[in-house]
Chain A
Amino acid sequence: MVKLIGADKSRERDVACTHCGGSLQVAARAMSVFCPHCAQRLILEDYRVKAYKASRLFATCGDIVVEKSGFVSAPIRVQNLTVRGRVQGDIDARGVVAVSSTGRIRGDIRATRLTVASGATLDGFLRIAPLATP
């Protein structure tokens, strides 16, 4: 018997498209999917950045952790972001942006929640508001 990935409803999760913001249900084990709203390919994986990473756009429906040795130079679209290293670029997070004491962010941040540890460095325009608030 072949069991399709995603056939089990209990193992689905809700994500928001990083391109159009539309919500969709995907299998918990899925690694990428095409958005039914905008037909763009979505990455669903979590990332842990431990080195230098530069790109035109760093987007995932999962979470990103930038470790102490990590340096991301790119605009980021993500669900939750944890910064222990350096980020240079605008951040668009649908969840929490957490900056630890060693974290440094240079760029605009848009998120629903922000936690900043003592010693962290931020420089940019912030728009922190719950999703319901326009």
Chain B
Amino acid sequence: MQGRTIQKEGAMGSNTNGDFTTVIGPDAVFKGELKFEKGVRNLGTFEGQIETKGHLLIAEGARLTGEVTAGNIDVEGSVHGNLTSTGKVCLTSSARLEGDLHTSRLEVADGAVFVGRCVVGSNGAAKPTNEKPAAAPVKEQQPVAVKK
């Protein structure tokens, strides 16, 4: 985390928006894992993982690289990574998303760029897993009695 990274809106007295209690400023570079409850507005550069049940906004000009699991996601900037949403994902006209997307609802504005695998619908809300299903237990063969 470099520079003035995260600012609480109430303390700064600006950017008052009910949904987004936390703002990652435009001059901030955040590397790491971020967990929160309500909402975060990312105006800067984020590299890492985000996990939340709340709302994430990647503003125009902002960049995000990594994995995101969130309730609702609004993309106005650039995202390079996989997004998983239990709610709605909105790609605005300035959005650029390169990565996989799993969501229950998707909204793509005219001019948005999206390259990646996409699962939308009731199956999309489930977090994708890379784990292979556990192999069935192998039955040990009983030694066969051989009659002499």
Contacts and interface: CB of A to CB of B under 8 A. Distances in A.
What is the predominant secondary structure among interface residues of chain B facing chain A? strand
A55 interface: no
Contact of B108 (A115, A118, A124, A125): A115
A122 B116 contact: no
Contacts of B124: 122
Contact of A121 (B111, B112, B117, B121): B121
Interface of B: 101, 105-108, 110-124
B105 A118 contact: yes
A109 to B, nearest CB: 8
Given A121-B123, A122-B106, A128 B112 contact: yes
29 contacts: A113-B108, A113-B110, A114-B106, A114-B108, A114-B114, A116-B106, A116-B120, A120-B106, A120-B121, A121-B122, A121-B123, A122-B106, A122-B120, A122-B121, A122-B124, A123-B119, A123-B123, A124-B117, A126-B101, A126-B115, A126-B116, A126-B117, A126-B118, A127-B114, A127-B115, A128-B113, A129-B114, A129-B115, A133-B113
Contacts of B117: 124-126
Interface residues on A, range: 20 to 34
A101 to B, nearest CB: 10
Contacts of A133: 113
A119 B88 CA distance: 11
B121 A128 contact: no
Contacts of A122: 106, 118-121, 124
A104 to B, nearest CB: 8
